[in-house]
Amino acid sequence: VCVVFAGCGRQEPVRQTVLVMDTVATLTATGPEAEAAVSEGVARLRELEAMASPAGADSDLVKLAAAAGNGQWVKLHPEVYHMLAVSQQYSERSGGAWDVTAGPLVELWGIGTERARVPSAAEIAAARAKVGWQKLELLPQTQSARLMEAGMCLDLGGIAKGYALDEVRRIYAQHGIKDGLINLGASSLYALGRNDKGQPWRIGIRDPRAEDKDTRLAVVPLGDAALSTSGDYERYFEQDGVRYHHIIDPRTGAPAQNAAMSATIVVAGSCADAGMLSDLLTTTVFVLGPVQGQAFLEGLPAEVQGMLCDKQYKLWPAHGFEACLQDRQLPGADQ
Ligand code: ADP
């Protein structure tokens, strides 16, 4: 067979990089239908971007915000409904550490935008009054939702890319793709099978304080699993020695201030919603902090592994994640 099919060793992967969902996404796939899988994957990312964006005519978020407080139910795209349904489960489970209604706080702080600043206590209190997952109601029969108070709005920034991973993964499966990488901006990705060299994918976990983006805490070998990392180094500004970053603790109304520097989650592909879970759980456990975050992860099924890295570079692994880490680098290597 090898003689008949030239290059029987490995096929060349198809790879496409696009700017979508506020990030640089690279889709890679190998196999006879790789071309179709990648181009359909990119098209799907663009559709999801339109549905889940905080602006735009087809955005459910815009419709929900416009109807907030008026009692009307808003019929949602099934995709958005699904994100919200899963989201609400984790809000309840995490005691509100995870909360998609944090929109007014995300907006107020503006982290990562030119208007980022430390708001006054009064401004924070006013925004917090418009936040609360219990004030987001879902109606499964009609896949509708409503926000109970005027001024409320949703922010899917911590979950939409994860959902997108699952969708592209589904498209890959339809095309029989066994080897590939769905990389949405390096902080959220889904690896399938093996890389171009026939080896397991090796994903570097960034050192949260290194200037050089390529300095790693460790490397995680991955096959058929989703991996996400979030931290206080991605989008932030510093003022008076405090680092104000993009992960908001809805309970205080401010960027989460605890010992965590980053959180990394791996969810096995056998888990439904693997991409979405990996994405939302990084934010959730970051807000909970190392001690509670680790305990939270230990309470989830064993298909969910992960760790927090604290400001002393101490790792807080769950479900045996430390055994997955390779090439541990300084300064965490001796721990
Ligand atoms: P990214 O990796 O794309 O920067 P993350 O997965 O780190 O995004 O999620 C952070 C984003 O989630 C924030 O930019 C904001 O939009 C949203 N967010 C922040 N805090 C919370 C929270 N406590 N619950 C839900 N979403 C949040």
Indicate which atom in ligand 1 lies nearest the CA of residue 97.
23
Handedness of CA 177, 305, 86, 163 (dihedral sign): negative
Query: Is there a cis peptide before residue 13, judged by omega within 30 degrees of 0?
Result: no
Q: Two tokens at 178?
A: 């066994």
Ligand 1 centre from 111 Cα, in Å?
11
Q: Do 165 and 190 form a contact (C-beta atoms < 8 A)?
A: yes
The tens-digit pLDDT sequence of the chain (335 residues) is 333 344 455 679 999 999 999 999 999 999 999 999 999 999 999 999 988 888 877 799 999 999 999 999 999 999 999 999 999 999 999 999 999 999 999 999 999 999 999 999 999 999 999 999 999 999 999 999 999 999 999 999 999 999 999 999 999 999 999 999 999 997 899 999 999 999 999 999 999 999 888 889 999 999 999 999 999 999 999 999 999 999 999 999 999 999 999 999 999 999 999 999 999 999 999 999 999 999 999 999 999 999 999 999 999 999 999 999 999 886 644 44
Instruction: Output the pLDDT for position 23.
Output: 95
283 lines ligand 1 (CB under 6 A): yes
Ligand 1 centre from 119 Cα, in Å?
19
310 lines ligand 1 (CB under 6 A): no
If you classify domain 55-147 with CATH, what class do you get?
Answer: mainly alpha
Cα(109)–Cα(141) distance, integer angstroms:
36
Three-class SS state of 252: coil
Cα(104)–Cα(283) distance, integer angstroms:
17
Cα(100)–Cα(76) distance, integer angstroms:
15
Burial code of 12-30, b = ≥16 C-beta within 10 A, e = fewer? ebbbeeeebbebebbbbbb
Q: In 3D, which of 329, 335, 314 has the Cα closest to residue 207?
A: 329
Q: Two tokens at 40?
A: 């359909």
**Residue 15, by phi and psi: left (phi above 0), alpha (psi -120 to 50) or beta?**
beta
